[in-house]
Structure 1
Amino acid sequence: MSRRRDAVVRRGLRHIGRAIHEQPGMFTLALLASSLYGAMTVASAYVIGEITDRVLLPSFDDGVTTASALTLAALAILGVAVLKILGIIGRRLFAGVMSYRLQAEYRRRVTGQYLRLPLSWHQRHPTGQLLSNANSDVEASWFFVAPLPFACGALVMIAITSVALVLTDPLLAVVGLIVFPLVFAANVIYSQVMSPRMQRAQQLRAEVSEIAHESFDAGLVVKTLGREDSETERFAVRTDQLRDGLIAVGRVRGLFDPLMEALPSLGTLAVLLIGAQRVADGVTGAGELVSVAYLFTLLALPIRAIGWVLADLPRALAGFDRVTPVLEASGETPHGPDSAVATGGGAAVAVREVGFAFDGAARPTLHEVTFEVPAGRTVAVVGPTGSGKSTLAGLLVRLVDPSDGTVLLDGMDLRRLREGEVSDQAAFVAQSAFLFDDTVRDNVTLGGPFSDEDVWAALRVAAADGFVSALPEGLDTRVGERGASLSGGQRQRLALARAVVRTPRLLVMDDATSAVDPAVEARILDALRGSESPATVVVVAYRQATIALADEVVWFEDGRAVARGTHDELLDQVPGYAALVRAYSQAAEVPA
């Protein structure tokens, strides 16, 4: 038990040191302001003591005082008060800046790490947890910073006070200062008791966020299948657990805070009881007792400030323990020094002996896949469900890297290209089109430097210019969250226009036209192939109308590219291909 307590204390002190190291300038300014406040607080006690001895007591004895004495006393009190106010303003201002800078910096680090880590890492971590890491966990990690300079300034104040007390009356100093070991012991025990409770509360916060995100994301499923009650129950169970966890935290803190409030008051009471007797015995003066008692009264707030820091450390450690794995996560996508060949037209693509396996998968998704796509050609990748087509599409635009083999763009390994080169040369359009709650224009450009003429040209290629022109505000029409005001086919066409406007040399579409009718699909593919500088197109397809528009077809089975040729050649030579294509064709004809 003692080892665990020491570990919590040591980790807490290291975390405090980390905060100071990250923001030394703001901490120094806040500490100086806090020290000014502490010094003026000590000075105020002596000013009051001197006024008691030199002004108040003589006026009681003589029954009269002078205007000059009262003026000097008022000026002394006012001067000390003004300096204390400056200390308070500086302490709060610089401590607040320090706290918010740390939170902002670590949010940038966490989100930057999210961008660097590969898609496979994100697939292992729920979105709700990632949101919690970047928000509540980062906030909790540095919540203790706001009172930290005050607490450090309080140590300066306590040091000054301790020396002054010993010089004034050693016995009263010993009686009063016994409070501090008690405060330290109480905080050590509190940290040990609170730490697991805070860790549990932070974990439950993340789980509540995760369930809420899933429920909102799956709103269509929940509504259409009538699962509102079950989702409400699932959310209620976790929120009840979070409530109970926070109540457990509150109970411990409810015992700790009154204790921290009481200890300084008990010290002051002990000083007054013993000091009154010493004044009666003539050992010490009334002014000295007033100064000592007032000092201990003023020390109550700094002691509480130390308690605030120590009370927040368990929560800070719990939050930082959840942020650290993200910051230390490995597997970010490495980049090389090379640049892609800057030529017009399509890019030549080659896949050589590529294998890929998801983490924890029983067997690889792709095995020794090899094929080439000449520049400017359109190739359809066809295969049954689970054959690895979508995985291959992700590899071609480097959403993931192969476990074995290489993917080449104009003869260059994608892993050797500089950061940003792949996205400059290649574009990817997924089957599930994501649109932001923004205008049509901004959903196509995504903040890129494209004119309205560029946007309309891309919309024409994607066969989306007609319905966009009919929208109430044209390009300025907001499409709603995830494009809720548009049909599935319209969303797909806007997603395709988003890719086309960037004039990629390689366009990879993962069944990205499944929600549009064959006539529109044919128009889209003809426009892609008929442009002045046609891109190389790799399309994952199922429908015969799509496949027939490709120059060549690659047939996948069980993660292998087992055949390639024209559509007619594969119909004659590959029974599995013929069966799949005819099955989809027959399924499409049934409604008619």
Structure 2
Amino acid sequence: MDDAAHSPGPDGAGKLSALARLWPFARPYRGLIALTFGAALLATLAQLALPLVTAAVVDGPIAEGDRSALVPLLGLALLFGVAEAALFFVRRVAMNRSCLQLERDLRDALYQRLQRLPVGFHDRWASGQLLSRATTDMSTIRRFVGFAAVFLVVNLITCVVVLALLLVTYWPLGLAVAATTVPLTVLGMRWERRYNTESRRVQDQQGELTTDVEEAVQGIRVVKSLGRSGLVFDRYDAKATQLRRLELDKVRTLALLWCLFELHPQITLAMILVGGAMAVSSGALTIGGLVAFVALFTVLLWPILSLGFLFAFAQETASACDRVGELLDAPVTVADRPGVRPAVVGTPARLRFEGVRFTYPGSAEPVLDGVDLDLRPGETVALVGATGSGKTTLTALVPRLHDASGGRITVDGSDVRDLPLAQLRSVVATAFEDATLFSMSVRENLTLGRPDAGDDAVAEALRVAQAQFVHDLPWGLDTRIGEQGLSLSGGQRQRLALARAVLGRPSVLVLDDPLSALDVHTEALVERALREVLAGTTALVVAHRASTVLLADRVALLAGGRIAAVGTHSELLATVPAYRDLLAQGSELTEVAR
């Protein structure tokens, strides 16, 4: 679980800086955004003209009994009404275009960042936290840009303009109205900070809940087979109950804000009516002036009432921007070095580990502590070792899923960190023990790393991996295999992953126990075909099974973070007691020892 999940939300300057993150994404659409603000402001100002026209009607035609003077004033009122409706239409069109495009760009930037961030980052972060930021927080930002940001500014300007008009209409009452905003502002800021903290807690808890849902769906077979649906539900329900409590805390604070902003105009309106009536009776204010004053203040009611909601929404959006910013600001520790250029890499290539060390972030003990290993072009080396000895970690360093903490790894003499990532991952193919497939067709899964592969190359890869079963699927290679390929068996998924790795005969092939899910018959067929592929490439194969060891030209024993011994299977068996002990731990490898 990431530490940021429970960090407090931004406040004060932090809130402004969090919202400022949106500006680089909004800049390309500043014309549409300006049009949105302009249309909203002009529509609001058109509303303010009606009270002034009303005052002119009361003090003019009505007071003087001149009906002919009503026509131009009523026409003017109609004109302002039509203008307000047209401006409303313009605002909606411009607003939706700008905010939806901004949301798309922000989503793209976040997705690209998640793709660039190293595997170590994804190991530390819960997937639900990432999903909630990519979905819920994005929707919050879109609604703020498309509505709240516009009216937050427009309503503040409206309040200033109306207060100025109230002062012009009758300054004593105008000053009184302005004075009532002081306690409103102080109390509003106090509860706004409280709402900010509660909003962040809700957003983080939504991420926790999303993680539980995702894990339960992905692990539904395990949950059902163990009969633990009740336990999983109880865990989910506890977090959902916690989310409900946090939501209610936020609702209470928002209700207090609404109550405050609702009560203020009612008390102020009562003060206006009393003070205005006294001013009219003393002759200091005309009846039309009082009508205009009350009408102007009525126009002010919605901006005042909405400010509580809009400020709360701004706080929630600032938290969302801060949460998204945590991902956008996360360092990309595995990237191309400045000035890297493609290098010439042969097929097969030479792979060397020179004093390679690696320590996981937050760990005090190194997993690898000076690994030295040389794989000659076209050679297959089986990597064996006890569970937790670092075999999978070592293989992950070759395509730079992690970067070595010390030492270096070279491909044909070039440090893998001096090769462009695109080139490195095109010459180094990897197949993991846990085969991962995607919600796309079989062909798209196979050619994921080599989209230019032709039909002959695909057919050859399927033959090597003994994956011709794909031709029996409803639409053959064009069959969509569903999320994570769960419509296939474990062995079928592993064979497709192996076919994807060997497609195109890479310069270096890294296999992490590629035959673990295969039955004995299929395993023998795959081994026979795989020997052909291994003869034309350099391969590092993590071995847990007897058959995998026998595929290798040499065997490397990994122990204590180092390569303890290298040689043929027979040599190690005869001269390295630790190797014999390791073989004795597994029945399959014991068969090889015999």
TM-score computed with the length of structure 1 as normaliser = 0.90
Describe the superposition over 1:57-76 as per-residue Cα deviations: whole angstroms up to 9, x where unpaired.
Answer: 444xx7xx34xx45423321
Answer yes or no: is 1:486 the counterpart of 2:492.
Answer: no
Name the CA distance, whole Å, in 1 between partners of 2:533 and 2:18: 59
CA contact (8 A) 2:128 2:207 kept: yes
Q: Which residue of 1 aligns with 2:61?
A: 55
Q: Which residue of 2 aligns with 1:249?
A: 250
Name the CA distance, whole Å, in 2 between partners of 1:469 and 1:575: 47
Q: Which residue of 1 aligns with 2:331?
A: 330
Shift of 1:490: 0.8
Q: Which residue of 1 aligns with 2:26?
A: 23
Q: Which residue of 1 aligns with 2:188?
A: 187
Q: Which residue of 1 aligns with 2:198?
A: 197
Q: Which residue of 2 aligns with 1:268?
A: 269
Q: 1:580 aligns with which of 579, 582, 589?
A: 582
Q: CA, structure 1 residues 13+342, in 2 after alignment: closer, same or farther (shift >3 Å)?
A: closer
Describe the superposition over 1:324-376 as per-residue Cα deviations: whole angstroms up to 9, x where unpaired.
Answer: 33232225213133344445521210000011111233421112111111122
Name the CA distance, whole Å, in 2 between partners of 1:329 and 1:344: 35
In the comparison of the two structures, how many residue pairs are matched? 576
Name the CA distance, whole Å, in 1 between partners of 2:181 and 2:457: 71
Q: 2:13 aligns with which of 10, 28, 31?
A: 10
Q: CA, structure 1 residues 576+531, in 2 after alignment: closer, same or farther (shift >3 Å)?
A: closer
Q: Percent identity?
A: 34
CA contact (8 A) 1:37 1:84 kept: yes
Shift of 1:401: 1.0
Name the CA distance, whole Å, in 2 between partners of 1:561 and 1:185: 68
Shift of 1:136: 2.3
Shift of 1:526: 4.3
Shift of 1:539: 0.9
Q: Which residue of 2 aligns with 1:122?
A: 122
Shift of 1:468: 1.3
Describe the superposition over 1:263-302 as per-residue Cα deviations: whole angstroms up to 9, x where unpaired.
Answer: 2333233222221222222221111111111111011122
Q: Which residue of 2 aligns with 1:389?
A: 391
Gaps of 5+ in 1: 1-6
Q: Which residue of 1 aligns with 2:7?
A: none
Shift of 1:242: 0.4
Shift of 1:231: 0.9
Aligned residue for 1:408, secondary structure, equals: strand
Q: CA, structure 1 residues 533+575, in 2 after alignment: closer, same or farther (shift >3 Å)?
A: closer
Shift of 1:79: 0.9
Q: Which residue of 2 aligns with 1:408?
A: 410
Name the CA distance, whole Å, in 1 between partners of 2:391 and 2:412: 21
Name the CA distance, whole Å, in 2 between partners of 1:560 and 1:38: 73
Q: Which residue of 2 aligns with 1:88?
A: 88
Q: Which residue of 2 aligns with 1:474?
A: 476
Name the CA distance, whole Å, in 1 between partners of 2:19 and 2:335: 33
Name the CA distance, whole Å, in 1 between partners of 2:269 and 2:329: 48
Q: CA, structure 1 residues 532+197, in 2 after alignment: closer, same or farther (shift >3 Å)?
A: closer
Aligned residue for 1:530, secondary structure, equals: helix
Name the CA distance, whole Å, in 1 between partners of 2:275 and 2:205: 50
Describe the superposition over 1:176-211 as per-residue Cα deviations: whole angstroms up to 9, x where unpaired.
Answer: 333433432232022122122112212211111122
Shift of 1:21: 6.5
Comparing 211-220 with 397-406, greater Cα deviation is found at 211-220
Answer yes or no: is 1:557 the counterpart of 2:559.
Answer: yes
Name the CA distance, whole Å, in 1 between partners of 2:544 and 2:24: 58
Name the CA distance, whole Å, in 2 between partners of 1:182 and 1:87: 34
Aligned residue for 1:74, secondary structure, equals: helix
Shift of 1:158: 2.7
CA RMSD, Structure 1 to Structure 2 (Å): 2.6
Q: Which residue of 1 aligns with 2:223?
A: 222
Q: 2:452 aligns with which of 449, 459, 466?
A: 449
Q: Which residue of 2 aligns with 1:425?
A: 427
Shift of 1:407: 0.5
Q: CA, structure 1 residues 462+384, in 2 after alignment: closer, same or farther (shift >3 Å)?
A: same
Q: Which residue of 2 aligns with 1:517?
A: 519
Shift of 1:585: 4.3
Aligned residue for 1:370, secondary structure, equals: strand
The 5 Å alignment of 1:344-355 reads 345-355=347-357
**1:499 maps to amino acid:** A
Q: CA, structure 1 residues 35+131, in 2 after alignment: closer, same or farther (shift >3 Å)?
A: same
Describe the superposition over 1:442-481 as per-residue Cα deviations: whole angstroms up to 9, x where unpaired.
Answer: 221238234444322221121111x112222211223233
**1:464 maps to amino acid:** A
Answer yes or no: is 1:281 the counterpart of 2:287.
Answer: no
Aligned residue for 1:147, secondary structure, equals: helix
Answer yes or no: is 1:43 the counterpart of 2:49.
Answer: yes
**2:215 maps to amino acid:** E
Q: CA, structure 1 residues 10+371, in 2 after alignment: closer, same or farther (shift >3 Å)?
A: closer
